[in-house]
Amino acid sequence: MSQRSDWLPANRESILEMARNWQSVAGTGGSAWGIPPSVMQNFDSLIQAAANALAAAQNETTRTPVATAQCKEAFDTLITAMRDMKRRYFLSPPLLDSDYISLGLKPRDTTPTQSGAPTAQVTIETYLVGRHELGVRIIYVTGSAADPANKGFRIWYSVVAQGETPPSNPDDLRKSFYTKRKKDVIEFGFGDSGKTAYFAVQIENEGKKGPWGPMVQALIP
């Protein structure tokens, strides 16, 4: 049985053990959680059917392709009932940490993940999109895109006409926009055609800013 990514155990023996534990936690007829007796009786039957099917599929004498298929069907039905029971009864009212533990579930992680201040440097490369438009593609100079601190990018730029003084460093750039995309498009004004755009980028994460990346420039089409 393949590894599961949710709260269910990874193998049938453990799933069966969890289901039997739920029988005990729910109490006689499901009274401890307000589960209707008919629902609990059906759940008990599904557990027994899954246990019998698993035993048959694992026994050298009774293990056949039919028994294997029947075992899968029995556990698929049991798992469907477990998901429904968890959603319909165990989560209403919301579970306490002690409830998660008693049901064999992983307690909720309510501590926010601290991603820290970004330290990577990024720049952009530009490409033509259309008249008065430049596409920009984020390029990592240092660091990794997988770093959770790298939430988004503040792209700063200024447009400079021929004969005007270009910006000497990123602090001289006047306009900016924020994006989480690795590729984006900047639309310039009609009168900006033929001028030069200067760019620099900082990674941003909830108000925390990373170091400037190197400045680049591109002619606006």
Residue 28 lies in a domain: yes
CATH number, domain at 151?
Answer: 2.60.40.10
Same domain, yes or no, for 208 and 154?
yes
User: What's the pLDDT score for residue 113?
Assistant: 56
Q: Residues 210, 117: contact at Cβ < 8 Å? A: yes
Inform me whether the pLDDT recorded for 108 exceeds 80.
no
State the average pLDDT over residues 201-207.
Answer: 90
Inform me whether the pLDDT recorded for 14 exceeds 60.
yes
Q: Residues 117, 205: contact at Cβ < 8 Å? A: yes
Same domain, yes or no, for 96 and 174?
no
User: What's the pLDDT score for residue 206?
Assistant: 83
Q: What are the start-end ranges of the H helices in 59-182?
A: 65-85, 97-102
Q: How many domains does the chain have?
A: 2
User: Which stretch of DSSP H or E encloses residue 187?
Assistant: strand 183-187
User: What's the pLDDT score for residue 3?
Assistant: 41
User: What's the pLDDT score for residue 112?
Assistant: 56
Q: Residues 159, 192: contact at Cβ < 8 Å? A: yes
Q: What angle do CA 8, 11, 15 make, to 5 degrees?
A: 50
Residue 109 lies in a domain: no
User: What's the pLDDT score for residue 2?
Assistant: 41
Residue 6 lies in a domain: no
pTM beyond 0.75: no
Q: What are phi and psi of 125, to 5 degrees?
A: -115, 145
Same domain, yes or no, for 46 and 83?
yes
CA distance 127 to 189: 17
Reported confidence tier of residue 28, pLDDT bands at 50, 70, 90:
confident
> How do residues 118-174 score in pLDDT, each as one tens digit?
999 999 999 999 889 999 999 999 999 888 889 899 999 999 999 999 999 999 999
Query: Could you tell me what percent of the chain has a pLDDT over 70?
Result: 93
State the average pLDDT over residues 92-120.
Answer: 74
Q: Residues 62, 56: contact at Cβ < 8 Å? A: yes
Name the residue range of residue 135's domain. Answer: 121-219
Q: What is the mean pLDDT of the chain?
A: 89
Inform me whether the pLDDT recorded for 179 exceeds 60.
yes
> How do residues 76-88 score in pLDDT, each as one tens digit?
999 999 999 988 8
User: What's the pLDDT score for residue 22?
Assistant: 93
Inform me whether the pLDDT recorded for 45 exceeds 90.
yes
Q: Which segment of 49-53, 113-117, 197-201 scores lowest on mean pLDDT?
A: 113-117
Which of 53, 68, 102 terminates a domain? The answer is 102
User: What's the pLDDT score for residue 1?
Assistant: 43
Same domain, yes or no, for 136 and 82?
no
Inform me whether the pLDDT recorded for 94 exceeds 50.
yes
